[in-house]
Amino acid sequence: MGMWWGPGVRVLVLQAAWALVGGQVRYSVPEEAKAGTVVGRLSQDLGLEAGEAEARRLRLVSQGRRASVEVSGASGALVVSSRLDREELCGKSAPCALRLEVLVERPLRVFHVELEVTDINDNAPLFRVNEEAFTIAELSTMPGSRFPLEGASDADIGANAQLSYSLSPTEYFSLHHQGNNEQSESLALVLTKPLDRETLPVHRLVLTASDGGRPSLTGTMELVISVLDVNDNAPQFNQSVYKVKVLEGSELGTLLITLNATDLDEGINSDILYLFSRHVTTEIKEMFTIDENKGEIRLQGKLDYEEMDSYEITVEARDKGYPPLSGHCKVLVEVLDVNDNAPEVWVTSLSVPVPEDASVGTVVALLSVSDRDSGANGRVRCAVWPAAPFGLVSTFAGSYSLVLREALDRERVSEYEVEVRAEDGGSPSLRGRRGVRVPVSDVNDNAPAFAQAVYTVLARENNAAGAELARLWARDPDEADNGRVRYSVWEGGVGGVASAGGGWRPASSYVSVDAESGRLWALQPLDYEEVQVLQFEVRAVDAGEPPLCGNATVQLFVVDENDNAPALLPAGSGGPGPGVSGEAASGALWNDASDVTEHGPVAAAGCAVERFRGRL
């Protein structure tokens, strides 16, 4: 049924049969469908809302071979993008199912799509040669004698490849056809009437092969039969089909089978040569050899089950009469699998770096695992090493997701070297591995921290303005802006002093800190007589978003210098203390004032002045 999408564009929707089971969507489309043919409304079948397919980047994952279909970005439909040839994709395998992986982002999810490409009758039967020549002895060849023919092949499958044969009208020959598949098919030309070379030396017949498609397609081959004399008994094998099993990788020269044929004639007419039939391909001749006198078939090439799992060899037994007569048999060689292929691991999608605050269950990578062997030799187990903080989740046969199992901390581990290991079920087992590098990106989860909660700083009074008093440093283990620290004197903290005049002055009027280096320096000379202790806080703030901060308390002690001379109090301002004479008091003042240390005798001078107050 047709439908219209957009002005002037008519799209044929073919077999919109689909099923969504366990995350898998199934569609079918006939081969040779035109480019642009809509296979199915993929986004709708996956449960995506209108416009969501494009927003979440619905797309196919490439798996190393052309899929011939693509996802329409605007509509989210699965459409044919290039020629679909079932025979090219699957050969004689049925059904022909393409397994596709579809990704959507935000969040990252994978869906599996199975696309069955159905057969149409687009291939006619084909004979390997246009002409087949025979030599048949007159008279001595009895009616009922059979002459094997090579049947036609049809690249299609099912009814489209079921062949029937017909022969152009003749009173001398008929066809014998048995079996309906190419491997077990038997086709022979049957003599129905003795030949007379003198009456008709050459017979030309047309063999027609017709397939079962509708409409039926045909192919033809000409049969040329030359009538000869003498030697009227052909060699005969003791069975028409021989079956042999051999392990792949067997040594060259391995004996597969010894054939035996008999000829009722005598003398030279009964001497038999064993040969590969002229229908045998070059590939078979390179793989096997036959001893023409003994009938021994031996291996001369390397058998690989994954390349070819069976061979069909047509053998001819030919006598030495003139003209020679032949008998034929088939040797079916079945190649048995051995575990000679290690599993392979492929990374089909990788989402890195992973933020250190990523939640458990986050998908980091999509992996595909395969083993070319069959049976237990091809069954693969997978594991990830080290076991933490990542794990593997099987999403489909041969497909895995590498997911986060534990919380990350970039400051502890900034990058992981993960190895995905695959082991098959063979004995002994074979292993494959694939390394995945997973860097961890930083988030601002660490505040700057000072080495000390409280810093004690000593500074002499009368220091120069701009003099460095101390260097403060706060550590932030985050990186880039998240770990870049700036310093400031925090007015919001406890800081400042009461001035001599009775007012209050903030700490930032005395000191400042370099925002980049943390260098603490004086804005002005400090005066011990004005301020002895200055306590304030320094704040360290990182450049993250949002920013984090840390504080430290600085206790700045001003060290006194001898910058004030003793002074006698004027008369009337007080005398010596009780019990002290004026002479004694005066002597004590000058005695004290003679020392040079202000916090010792100089300080005592201050005390002397205090004692004189009230006595002078």
In which domain, by residue range, is 603 found? Answer: 562-616
Is residue 123 in some structural domain? no
Classify residue 315 by burial, with Cβ atoms within 10 Å: 0-12, 13-18, 19+.
Answer: buried
pLDDT of res. 4: 33
Q: Are residues 481 and 404 in the same domain?
A: no
Q: Are residues 411 and 462 in the same domain?
A: no
Q: Are residues 530 and 576 in the same domain?
A: no
Record the tokens describing residue 261, joined without a space: 């044929």
Classify residue 297 by burial, with Cβ atoms within 10 Å: 0-12, 13-18, 19+.
Answer: buried
pLDDT of res. 222: 97
Q: Which of 176, 196, 228 is the last residue of a domain?
A: 228
Q: Which of 441, 473, 508 is the last residue of a domain?
A: 441
Q: How many CB atoms lie within 10 A of CB 46?
A: 19
> Bridge partners of 347?
367
Q: What is the DSSP letter of 6?
A: S
Is residue 126 in some structural domain? no
| Residue 377 CA: distances (Å) to CA of 433, 490, 516 | 17, 71, 64
Is residue 616 in some structural domain? yes
Measured distance CA(21)–CA(104) in Å, rounded: 18
Q: Are residues 494 and 433 in the same domain?
A: no
Kind of pairing, strands 399-404 and 415-424?
Answer: unpaired
Q: Are residues 572 and 483 in the same domain?
A: no
Helix (H, G, I), strand (E, B) or coil at 190: strand
pLDDT of res. 495: 54
Classify residue 489 by burial, with Cβ atoms within 10 Å: 0-12, 13-18, 19+.
Answer: buried
- Three-state secondary structure of 15-63: CCCCEEECCEEEEEEECCCCCCCEEECHHHHCCCCCCHHHHCCCEEECC
Measured distance CA(308)–CA(298) in Å, rounded: 17
Phi, psi (deg, nearest 5) at residue 592: -65, -40
Measured distance CA(291)–CA(299) in Å, rounded: 11
Phi, psi (deg, nearest 5) at residue 484: -85, 120
Q: Are residues 567 and 553 in the same domain?
A: no
Record the tokens describing residue 333, joined without a space: 């060689």
Is residue 422 in some structural domain? yes
Q: Are residues 213 and 247 in the same domain?
A: no
CATH of the domain at 41: 2.60.40.60
Measured distance CA(291)–CA(151) in Å, rounded: 27
pLDDT of res. 586: 34
DSSP conformation letters of 536-588: EEEEEEE-SSS--EEEEEEEEEEEP-S-----PPPTTS-BPPTT--HHHHHHH
Is residue 459 in some structural domain? yes
Is residue 436 in some structural domain? yes
Measured distance CA(265)–CA(234) in Å, rounded: 8
pLDDT of res. 572: 54
Q: Are residues 44 and 98 in the same domain?
A: yes
Measured distance CA(97)–CA(118) in Å, rounded: 9
Phi-psi region of 444 (alpha: psi -120 to 50; beta: other; left: phi over 0): beta
Q: Are residues 249 and 304 in the same domain?
A: yes
pLDDT of res. 182: 59
pLDDT of res. 245: 96
Is residue 95 in some structural domain? yes
Helix-helix angle 603-612:582-593, to 10 degrees: 160
What's the first-to-final CA gap in the chain, in angstroms? 125
Q: Which of 228, 256, 271 is the last residue of a domain?
A: 228
Is residue 124 in some structural domain? no
Residues of the chain with pLDDT under 70: 1-23, 62-66, 180-184, 229, 491-503, 569-616
Q: Are residues 555 and 459 in the same domain?
A: yes
> How many residues does the structure list for the chain?
616
pLDDT of res. 615: 34
Helix (H, G, I), strand (E, B) or coil at 605: helix
pLDDT of res. 344: 93
Burial call 135-163: b when 16+ CB within 10 Å, e when fewer = ebbbebbeeebebbbbbbbbbbbeebbeb
Tally of structural domains, the chain: 6
Q: How many CB atoms lie within 10 A of CB 517?
A: 11
- Three-state secondary structure of 110-177: EEEEEEEEECCCCCCCECCCCEEEEEEECCCCCCCCEEECCCCECCCCHHHHCCEEEECCCCCEEEEE
pLDDT of res. 228: 79
Nearest to 328 by CA among 191, 149, 127: 149
pLDDT of res. 580: 39
> How would you list the strands of the sheet with 164-167, edge to edge?
131-137, 218-228, 202-210, 164-167
Q: Are residues 21 and 84 in the same domain?
A: yes
Nearest to 110 by CA among 395, 423, 305: 395
Q: Are residues 140 and 196 in the same domain?
A: yes
